Structure 1
Amino acid sequence: MSPRQRPVLEVDPAVVRRARSLARRAGQPVVDLARAHTTVSVERATLRLAGLKGADHEGTPWVNHLVDAVRAQTGLEHGVTTPVWDALRRGQAPDLLTLAQKASSGGVSFRLPEGSDLRASRRAARVAVARGVRTMDRQRAARERMVATVGDAPRTPWVYLIVATGDIHEDIPQARAAAEAGADVIAVIRSTGQSLLDFVPEGATREGFAGTYATQENFRLMRAALDETSRRLGRYVRLTNYASGLCMPEIATLAGLERLDMMLNDSMYGILFRDINPVRTFVDQRFSRQVHARAGIIINTGEDNYLTTADAVEAAHTVTVSQLLNEYFAKEAGLEDWQLGLGHAFEIDPDLPDSFRTELAHALLARRLFPRAPLKWMPPTKHMTGDVFRGYLLDGFFNLAGAMTGQGILLVGMMTEAVVTPWLSDRDLALQNVRYVMEAAGGLTEDFHPPRDGFIQTRARQVLSEAVDLLEGIVHDSDAAGDPPLLAAIADGTFGAMKRPATAGKGLDGVVVKAGGYDNPATSLLEEGATR
């Protein structure tokens, strides 16, 4: 957004600097924790970069078999790649796939090599993993060439529309139709519960539940279809999926290999709303975001979810805190401002007096704090009652708030939200709503300058002040267990009214403390930029 179009919110720059400083102090101990651990999914993602794919006849991926076999014999404290490439060098199998197949039946002996064997194994592993990183580099370059060749979306916000039937072969024609009707970003929702699977399904899938499984083949098929549509429409249509849950690093890696453009990746969503262990989440997230940074993928964060379980007015400052934390964690992992699709939502009870003005205050604050980020603006869901006429009006107000405050990514709201899975006709009406508002009022950011001491600016400054107070409380707090203060705050139910202790939650058994000699060539390559 150009400076001419950016709405003005007068906040004290010192307060903004204080908020960012506190977010950094709250986040740094969590980054240190993530650096000190690995997980089974990080190790599996590394093997995927080295080219290992496929699954056995029961659908268990070979990466799962190989990581489990190494962990049983040598542990993962030194990383999976050193014992794997040592086994290959010793002739245990002619290639990585065969090694995984033999290991699944106990036919491979793994060890931790020493001396020259250790150095040779690590060099071989680095060469193999670097091929996958170079593939992501080529996909990033291919995206840039395609945008330059076919053109980009003509204006912001990008219109973001969800497609997910459960059957990838049904999703594709619906995605094409959505793009033809004006959608700039197609999001394929994952099948219900996939975030809790500790493996990534293989192949093209046709039996998802309220969504379509995230698999490498499904990514490839949808990307190819949208590329063809992009060429026909003369604008690049972006593809989104979900890098969250127990396989966050692997799905992020597959997205980079298949040229997805956006991934949902929030710092605390899996912890709060899927009860995934906090340490597992933060370790997996850091690796995932390093992959996103390298692949040129925009992340979408999930602050909107907090407002489905907590009051959107009383808890507004927790959204701001989470945005600041997400920004810190993202930049620490290498993401740039243009990759930060920080989330927030239009979720205030519409029966409250001045609800729209309050929504404008919250949206304007996010725009002021993150002026170069493509903020992801989420439509009303919590207060959609089943009255489709009222719902359609609420979505219109949501679209108007997005136009007035310069949001970057606008998720299309459906009038049948919370009633039924939307019909194609519902989607068409929703897109008409977006088009009308954006064509009629898309330039309002030039004109919208609320008075300095009026309701909107006063409310925005209040939320920022409450966010600073909360961050100060987190930074200066600690618990008896000695956990990082942010983990203690999560355990206390600070965010989304969910209490999630660091010693509980799904996936904890997949967390491993790194030994002094730990090696992961993927992490090294992503941090060094050695192949770019």
Structure 2
Amino acid sequence: MSRPNAMLELDPVVVRKARSLARKAAAPVVKIARNHTTVSVERATLRLAGLAGADHERVPWVNHLVTAVRDEVGLEHGVTTPVYDALLRGEAPDLTTLAQKAASGNVSFRLPTGREAAAAQRAAAKGVGVGLKAVDRSRATRGRLIKRHGNPKTKPWIYLIVATGDIYEDIPQAQAAAREGADIIAVIRSTGQSLLDYVPEGATREGFAGTYATQENFRLMRAALDDVSKELGRYVRLTNYASGLCMPEIAALAGMERLDMMLNDSMYGILFRDINPIRTFVDQRFSRQVHARAGIIINTGEDNYLTTADAVEAAHTVTVSQLLNERFAKEAGLEDWQLGLGHAFEINPEIPDSFRMELAHAMLARQLFPDAPLKWMPPTKHMTGDVFRGYLLDGFFNLVGAMTGQGILLVGMMTEAVVTPFLSDRDLALQNVRYVMNAASGLTEDFHPPRDGYIQTRARQVLSEAVDLLERIVGDKDAAGDAPLLAAIADGTFGLMKRPATGGKGLDGVFERAAAYDNPATTSLDAWTPPANGGRR
């Protein structure tokens, strides 16, 4: 996207210091992620190799196979070497049969050495390479379709949610939303799926407050949006969630099925789902590497912090999280155009000057990350059920987005937190967006807050507080394991949630890599570099 006009007079020395501190805070966590693997990373690798399907109780075969290898030889060396060694020894003709035999205890695994290990690793690289080539093909297909149909003519892209629980109900709602002007369709995931340590199979019709993320559901919705893209003459993007205990697997499936955006925040699962911090950081690095290669834009979740912490007092924690998300993303290979960093319109509207503060926060984020398609989130925390007041708040939210050149604008609903929106609610919400954007989109060129006025002063204050917090995190000499960011998360620094590195769900699925660890997916992803033209679409 084109850079917005500079609207704030920020000290470039302070900005550089903030990024330097974020790099220092992230470095020990990146080292931990590089030195560990998880059951989900190993399952994602086998999914890239083509293993799919589930048993009669709907337990995926990939779970059976990874569990069997883990129980017999461990996962410290990676799952693919013992799996492909078993195939080469004739234990089964293919991965699915091997998984089925493993589920009934009718196969043995070992850690081969010498030539046998090398042969297994060559076979694994070939098998996993099939899935990585599918990811590459999906990226190329997206590029061709955008060239054929075109992108939306204006920014921000309008992001709208559908979530009935039934994929076959989601599809016509998504197509109707696209016809009404939505550029991005987000299929909200069924409540609790992030805590499932497996990915459901097939098309699903029974989700609660959302629809299960499955490979088949991805395929069905992508095909439906391709049809409406052709009809409308613009490429309509699809979003889902790469978070929770199966983050790497869902990322791999999304890459192969050509999703365009994925919610993928480095700390959301830790803070709001109590997933173990180590598990989360290991999984998110792998998932972001897949997103980088797939050309997927990530959406981060800073807006969630302001649902549990005060949006004025904790504004600087949002900025810190944005800086950390940027650092973790870039280390994993994502480019600026793929960073849908989050921020939100969540200050209590009863507070004097609330709009001015919201504008200051939005300007700060826009200027700190000028090349990122920031995702601006609507008011939710202070919606009361008064639909007229809610519609007005959403209009103010849209106005801030227009004035600050946001890249992705999630459509606010006047019935937010009251009922599941009707199609008519979505239509009215889209009318609100269209009116504000048509009437005020040029304000980003004209509006410049006074040098030492309220907005400039507030933005500088938030940035200064963010630097102070990063300095405290980096300077924590008592941080266990030399990873002060983990200590800060344990202390409740973000979102008021205290999440120790030794607790949380999924810790038993984390393994330190052995010296001879081999995973052809991570090897290929580590070596991957973006296309010369950036692959931006």
For the Cα contact (< 8 Å) 1:134–1:531, is it kept in 2?
no
Q: Please say if residues 265 and 301 of structure 1, whose CA atoms lie closer than 8 Å, have aligned partners that are also in contact.
A: yes
Q: Residues 215, 410 of structure 1: CA spacing in aligned structure 2 closer, same or farther, 3 A cutoff?
A: same
Q: Deviations over 1:394-445 (max 9, x none)?
A: 0000000000011100000000111111111111110000000001111110
- Please tell me whether the aligned partners of residues 130 and 531 of structure 1 are also in contact (alpha carbons under 8 angstroms): no
Q: Using the alignment, how far apart are the partners of 1:67 and 1:252 within structure 2?
A: 18
Residue 79 of structure 1 aligns to which amino acid in structure 2? G
**1:165/1:208 contact within 8 Å kept:** yes
Say yes or no: does 1:302 pair with 2:301: yes
Quote the Cα distance in structure 1 between the aligned partners of 2:480 and 2:319.
27
Indicate the SS of the match to 2:206: coil
Specify whether residues 16 and 53 from structure 1 end up closer, same or farther in structure 2 by C-alpha distance, changes over 3 A only. Answer: same
Instruction: Determine helix, strand or coil for the equivalent of 1:419.
Output: coil
SS in 1 for 2:245: coil
Q: Which amino acid aligns with 2:194?
A: S
Asked if 1:107 is matched to 2:106, the reply is yes
Q: Which residue of 2 aligns with 1:464?
A: 463
What is the distance in 2 between the residues matched to 1:448 and 1:122?
A: 59
User: Per-residue deviation at 1:279?
Assistant: 0.3
Q: How many residues align?
A: 531
Q: Which amino acid aligns with 2:467?
A: V
Q: Residue 415 of structure 1 aligns to which amino acid in structure 2?
A: M
Aligned to 1:361: 360
- CA distance in structure 2 between the aligned counterparts of 1:361 and 1:50, rounded to whole angstroms: 48
Q: SS at 1:236's partner residue?
A: coil
Question: Is the partner of 1:155 in helix, strand or coil?
Answer: coil
Pairing 1:210–2:209 present: yes
Contact kept? 1:70, 1:83, Cα under 8 Å: yes
Counterpart of 2:246 in structure 1 is 247
Any idea what SS the aligned residue of 1:299 has?
strand
> Does the 8 Å CA contact 1:525/1:531 hold for their aligned counterparts?
no
Deviation at 1:7, TM superposition (A): 4.4
1:476 corresponds in structure 2 to: 475
1:499-526 CA-to-partner distances (Å, cap 9, x unmatched) read 0000000000100111110011000111
Counterpart contact for 2:248–2:284, Cα < 8 Å: yes
State the match for 1:183 in structure 2.
182
**In 1, Cα distance between the equivalents of 2:336 and 2:330?**
8
SS at match of 1:247: helix
| C-alpha contact (below 8 Å) 1:478/1:484 kept by paired residues | no
Once residues 261 and 298 of structure 1 are traced to their aligned partners in structure 2, the CA distance between those partners, rounded to angstroms, is 6
SS in 2 for 1:512: strand
1:138 maps to 137
Q: Secondary structure at the match of 1:161?
A: strand
Measure, in 1, the Cα distance between the counterparts of 2:513 and 2:326: 26
Q: Determine the structure 2 residue equivalent to 1:405.
A: 404
1:128 corresponds to which residue?
127
The separation in 1 between residues aligned to 2:176 and 2:383, in whole angstroms, is 26
Q: Hey, what's the Cα distance between the residues in 2 that align with 1:154 and 1:376? A: 18
Alignment gaps of 5+ in structure 2: 532-537
User: What letter corresponds to residue 335 of structure 1 in structure 2?
Assistant: L
Distance in 2 of aligned mates of 1:328 and 1:6: 24
User: Any idea what the Cα deviations from partners look like across 1:444-487, whole Å, max 9, x if unmatched?
Assistant: 10101111101001100000000000000000004363351000
Tell me which residue corresponds to 2:495.
496
SS at structure 2 position matched to 1:8: coil
Q: Which amino acid aligns with 1:96?
A: L
Aligned residue runs from structure 1 range 329-344, under 5 A: 329-344=328-343
* Partner-residue secondary structure (3-state), 1:493: coil
Which amino acid in structure 2 is aligned with residue 2 of structure 1? S
Range with greater deviation from structure 2 (473-482 or 359-368): 473-482
Please give the alpha-carbon distance, in whole angstroms, between the structure 2 residues aligned to 1:141 and 1:329: 25
Q: How does 1:153-168 map to 2 (within 5 A)?
A: 153-168=152-167
Partners of 1:259 and 1:489 in 2: CA distance: 36
Q: 1:388 is matched with which residue?
A: 387
CA deviation string 1:357-380 (max 9, x = no partner): 000000000000000000000000
Cα separation, partners in 2 of 1:491 and 1:231, compared to 1, 3 Å: same
- 1:344: how far off? 0.2
Distance 1:432 1:7, change over 3 A: farther
Check the 8 A contact 2:346/2:381 in 1, yes or no: yes
Counterpart AA for 1:375: L
The percentage of aligned residue pairs carrying the same residue is 81
Counterpart of 1:2 in structure 2 is 2
Q: Which residue of 2 aligns with 1:50?
A: 49
TM-score by length of 2: 0.98
- After superposition, residues 13-52 of structure 1 pair within 5 angstroms as 13-52=12-51
Mean Cα deviation higher: 105-114 or 476-485: 476-485
1:193 aligns with 2:189: no
Indicate if the aligned counterparts of 1:135 and 1:257 stay in contact, CA closer than 8 A: yes
- Asked if structure 1 preserves the Cα contact closer than 8 Å seen for 2:480 and 2:487, the reply is no
1:279-305: CA deviation from partner (whole Å, max 9, x where unpaired): 000000000000000000000000000
Asked whether 1:289 is paired with 2:288, we answer yes
Instruction: For 1:190 and 1:402, locate their aligned partners in 2 and report how far apart those are by CA, in whole Å.
Output: 26
User: Where does residue 534 of structure 2 map in the other structure?
Assistant: none
Paired position in structure 2 for 1:320 = 319
Hey, what's the Cα distance between the residues in 1 that align with 2:529 and 2:435? 48
Deviation, 1:122, is 0.3
Question: Structure 2: how far apart are the matches of 1:43 and 1:260?
Answer: 22
Deviations 1:40-75 (A, max 9, x none): 000000000000000001000000000000000000
- Unaligned 5+ segments in structure 1 are none
Distance in 2 between the 1:12 and 1:28 partners? 25
